[in-house]
Structures are given as structure tokens and as C-alpha cells.
Amino acid sequence: MLPSRLSRHFAPYFAHIPFQIVSLITVTLLAHVTLSGGRVAASLYALKHGGSEAWAGIAFSAFGLMPVLLSLQMGRWIDRVGTRRVMRICQLLMISGLVLSATVQSLPTILITGLLAGTGFAGYMLAANVCVSYMDFKHEGDRVGMLAWLQMGNSVSSVLGPTFVGILIDHSGYRMAFGALAAVVVCSLLAGLRANLPDGTRESKPKSSEPSIARAVFRDARLLRIYLLAMTVSLSWDAFTFMVPVLGQTRGYSATTIGLVLSSFAVGTFAIRALLPWLSRRMAEWRMLTVSFALAACVFFTLPLADNALLHAALGFVFGLAAGVGQPNILGLIYRAMPPGRAGEGAGLRAMMGNMMGLTGPSLFGAITALFGAVPVFIMVGGIMSGSCWQARRGERSAQATAPA
């Protein structure tokens, strides 16, 4: 009885899902398998073949180095040549890097693979997100939901990729693992060629007097609020994934228990992103952000007081629900606020700022923990989330005031 009621409730919405998004999610899932699996293969190869733990960390980080430096330029490139062309070129870049390590096995080639595959995937994902901004939806809230589904596919492949690579390494070696990852991207490329995905380019070249997106953001209070909130979303995500193991270890939790807490967080993000297409038709972006920041603040203030692993896991699930709605709603607001033909540059700036937080945040958290312990970090992040909740509420009121009557 209950499943039939749920199906009747959700069926009218799912009938409006365009086939384009299903194609894009499938292609993106295949592409993301190579990133999650490639990082594992590269770091394990470095450890296995004479490299230290430091080399393993460098091999893992190589996949994220160039996106930090090039995200804004990638966004401008997407605006100039279109999403489809960028996705295909980036897939070819990923294939070339993976084939290199499949044919020539050495630490230098592993690092080059990380740079090529990481850059290719970052450009591909940026173009895929912008591609959704060009799709036609009957309800504007559907765009946020489809962005969430695109990232939900990434969540699935984050589990499949390392498992797939681990099995291949154990049974066939590293050469076969990298070769199989390259074959997965080839499948992604072929599937993308058959998908009728929307494209978009600037109608004219940018004028010399036209301000950059970064300058426009600092001139526009509305845009500045959106991008600052985007940074706090990334900050809270990194704070949770970095600090929960630290807090767990100080309390004597086993690695399995810490993994359970992090897995509960992943389940929360997956669950809310699965429901976000339905939820986005009932709540505007600013309202969802206000609620999510409030939940995140409560989680960070409560975690230091939690005295058992089950409560930690429950808080992890709640934070997953809060964090999972952040990026899709932020992207929806950015695409709506961007001038025509500049969606790629706007998304590129957000990606660059998020990647910068990913590089600087954990180092800052580690330094504070070394000096004062873990609790001040949770209190600090909880305070930032509380301020973000207030700013999101201000954004909601501003949107309501400017909305047409």
C-alpha cells in the first residue's frame, strides 16, 4: 500500500524528467569512475613501487592540482566553444593520461597521468554542470534537482571506482587497471557522442570594457553573497570529512567506527540529492540554503558533545542531508544571476574558490587542532555556518522583495 502511494505521489514529477539528463548522468558516472579509481591506483602504485607516503600523497593530489589553477579559464573556454566540445576534448585528455600509465609504468608517468586525468575530469564536470543550465525545464526548480542528480551519479561512482580498481589491481596488476579505466572513459565518450545534449556559446566576443566575473562579483552584493556562501559550503564539507576522523581518534574509535560515521554522511548526501528534484519544486533555493546552514551549525556545535559512535553516525547523516543541498542550489543561483553567455565563467569561479578552500581549509584545521584541540574547530565552523544561515535568510528576503508581484 505504501509503495503504491509513494509512486502516485512522485510519478507526476518523474514524467517531466528530460531524457537528456539521464544520458548526461550516465556519461558522467562513467567518467567519474576514472577519477575516483585513478586516485586510488596512483597512490597505491607510488607506495608499492618505492615511493614513500609523501609520494603517495603527491600522486593523489596531482589529480586536483590543475583544477585549482585553471577552473576560471576552463569556464571561459566553455563559454567560448560550447559545452559539448569541451566535454569531448576533456574526455580525450583523460584517455591520453590513463593510456600513458597503462603503457609506461613509472612514478613520473603516474604523476603526469594525475595531471592530465584530473584536469580533464575537472573540465568535463564543469561543462556538464553548465550543460544543465542550458536545458529547458517546465519548472525552474527542476534545474536544481537535475544538478543534484548529476552529483548523485558522482556519489555512486565514488564507491564503484575504488572497488573496481582494487579488484583489477589484485587480480591483473596496475597496467590492466589503468587500461580498464581508459576503456571506461572511451565508453563515456562514445555514449556522449550519441546523447543529444544542449550546447551554448557566447554570441559575441567579450568587450575589452566588460568586467571579469571576479570583479563583477565584488561589485554586486547579491553575487558576492552567493559566492561567499559557496565557499562556506566547501569549508563545512572539508571540515567534517577532515575533523571527524581526528575527533574519533582522540576518543579511541576504531577505523571501522570512523568509516561508519563518514559512510552515514555519504548516505545522507545521496538520500537528499535523490529527493532534491521533488523538494526543489516545493522550496526555493534560498529557503533550502537557510535550512541547510541551520542544520549544519547544529551538527558542528553538537559533535563535540556526542559521547558515542551511534550519535556521531546520526549526526553525520543529518550533516549529509544539510551538505547535499548546498552545491546544487548554489549553482542554480549562479546560473540565474550570470549574464547571458557567461555561465561557464561563473561556474568556473565557484569551482576555483571551492578548490582553494579544499587546499587551505584542512591545513588551517590541523594547525588549530595542534595548538588548541579539536573542539575549537567545531565551534568555529559552527559559528561560520550560523552566520551563513543569517546571510542565506537575508538573500531569501531580498529575493522576495525583488520578485514580481
Q: Exposed (0-12), middle (13-18) or buried (19+): which is 1, by Cβ within 10 Å?
A: exposed
Amino acid at 44: L
Residue 53: pLDDT band by 50, 70, 90 thresholds? low
**pLDDT above 90: residue 83:** no
> In the predicted model, is pLDDT for residue 379 greater than 90?
yes
* Whole-number pLDDT of residue 52: 62
DSSP 139: S
Q: Which fold has domain 16-194?
A: Growth Hormone; Chain: A; (1.20.1250)
pLDDT attached to residue 140: 66
CA distance 84 to 172: 34
Q: Which residue has the cell 593530489?
A: 61
> E strands of 115-269, at which residues?
none
Q: Where in the chain is the domain with CATH 1.20.1250.20?
A: 16-194, 213-402
Give residue 388's identity as a one-letter amino acid code.
S
Q: Is 123 helix (H, G, I), strand (E, B) or coil?
A: helix
What is the DSSP annotation of 159-201? HHHHHHHHHHHHHH-HHHHHHHHHHHHHHHHHHHHHS------
Average pLDDT in the 231-252 region? 84
- Render pLDDT for 100-124 as a digit per residue (tens, 0 to 9): 989 988 888 988 988 898 889 889 8
State pLDDT tens for residues 177-219: 899 999 988 988 888 887 777 666 655 455 555 667 777 778 8
For residue 210, the SS3 value is coil
> Is the model more confident about 51 or about 21?
21
Q: Which of 114, 117, 154, 186 is nearest to 32 (CA)?
A: 154
- What architecture is domain 213-402? Up-down Bundle (1.20)
HEC string for 74-110? HHHHHHHHCHHHHHHHHHHHHHHHHHHHHHCCCHHHH
**Stretch 360-379: mean pLDDT:** 84
Cβ-based neighbour number of residue 173 at 10 Å: 12
- CB atoms closer than 10 angstroms to residue 393: 17
Please give the average per-residue pLDDT across 249-254, as a whole number: 80
Q: Which residues make Cβ contacts (< 8 Å) with residue 332, sequence separation at least 6? A: 140, 143, 144, 147, 285
27 class by beta-carbon count within 10 Å (0-12 exposed, 13-18 middle, 19+ buried): buried
- Maximum separation of any 2 CA atoms in the chain, in Å: 67
Kindly tell me if the per-residue pLDDT of 152 is higher than 80. no
Q: What is the pLDDT of residues 307-347, one digit of tens each?
A: 888 898 899 999 999 988 888 888 888 888 777 777 788 88
Could you tell me which residue, 231 or 45, shows the higher pLDDT?
Answer: 231
